[in-house]
């Protein structure tokens, strides 16, 4: 199965990927953990450009995430799924829908089309939105460090709301997980939700 984790920075995605991977491996499953943007050599170079590059046009940003994603699908995700492994991805297509599609106003439909073209239509079997109040995420995340984070509270608020909107629109695929709980409890909720597809 292919599972992605979404949420604002500081929502606990990395922790949940790790906890689910440990659980699945303990059950004897093969698991590939990856992250966006990055996860490949080209992707890490694009990540650098995205996080520390200068001002860029919204569609430039969207296309750079897309470029990294296309590489990750071809090089990592598709071969892993074809080989029978589970793939857990820290951010995937919904990050583009939330950040560029909604928060930057490019439009969910257009960003989704743009992404489906370049990923060969690959969507996760299930996506978890790690839902925490924005103040809590900001507190956990610590000092602001990259370009997207520096855009400040108004943009962060828009992204936060965008994710909730996506969870409503794509309700069959995207599940909100309460990430204010202790991590082990959130992880247990996620495992329960995956029981029917794993």
| 41 or 139: CB nearest a copy of itself | 41
Give the nearest distance from C-beta 91 to a copy of itself in angstroms. 16
Secondary structure in 3-state letters for 97-158: HHHHHHHCCCCHHHHHHHHHHHCCCCCCCEEEEEECCHHHHHHHHCCCCCCCHHHCHHHHHH
Q: At what angle do helices 41-52 and 58-72 cross, to 10 degrees?
A: 160
Interface with a copy of itself (CB under 8 A): 41-42, 45-46, 49, 53-54, 56-57, 59-64, 66-68, 70-71, 73-75, 110, 113-114, 117-120
Give the nearest distance from C-beta 5 to a copy of itself in angstroms. 23
Give the nearest distance from C-beta 62 to a copy of itself in angstroms. 7
Distances (CA, A) of 153 to 101, 135, 148, 165: 18, 10, 11, 18
Give the nearest distance from C-beta 35 to a copy of itself in angstroms. 16
| 70 or 156: CB nearest a copy of itself | 70
Q: Could you give the CA distance from residue 63 to residue 67 in angstroms, rounded to a whole number?
A: 6
| 147 or 176: CB nearest a copy of itself | 147
Give the nearest distance from C-beta 151 to a copy of itself in angstroms. 17
**Look-up: residue for tokens 């001002």?**
55
Q: Which two tokens stand for residue 72?
A: 């990750």
| 117 or 197: CB nearest a copy of itself | 117
Q: Could you give the CA distance from residue 144 to residue 46 in angstroms, rounded to a whole number?
A: 20
Q: Could you give the CA distance from residue 48 to residue 11 in angstroms, rounded to a whole number?
A: 22
Q: What is the DSSP letter of 20?
A: H
| 52 or 139: CB nearest a copy of itself | 52
């Amino acid at each position: 199965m292919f599972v992605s984790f979404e949420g604002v920075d500081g929502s606990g995605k990395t922790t949940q990927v790790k906890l689910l991977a440990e659980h699945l491996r303990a059950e004897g499953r093969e698991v590939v953990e990856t992250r966006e943007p990055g996860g490949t050599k080209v992707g890490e170079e694009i990540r650098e450009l995205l996080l520390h590059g200068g001002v860029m046009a919204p569609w430039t940003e969207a296309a750079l995430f897309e470029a990294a994603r296309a590489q990750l699908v071809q090089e990592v995700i598709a071969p892993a799924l074809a080989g029978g492994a589970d793939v857990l991805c820290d951010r995937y297509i919904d990050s583009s829908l939330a950040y560029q599609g909604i928060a930057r106003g490019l439009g969910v439909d257009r960003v989704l089309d743009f992404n489906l073209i370049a990923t060969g239509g690959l969507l996760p079997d299930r996506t978890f939105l790690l839902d925490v109040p924005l103040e809590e995420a900001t507190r956990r995340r610590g000092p602001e460090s990259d370009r997207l984070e520096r855009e400040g509270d108004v943009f962060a608020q828009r992204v936060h709301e965008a994710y909730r909107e996506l969870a409503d629109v794509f309700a069959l695929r995207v599940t909100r997980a309460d990430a204010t709980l202790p991590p082990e409890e959130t992880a247990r909720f996620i495992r329960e939700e995956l029981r029917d597809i794993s």
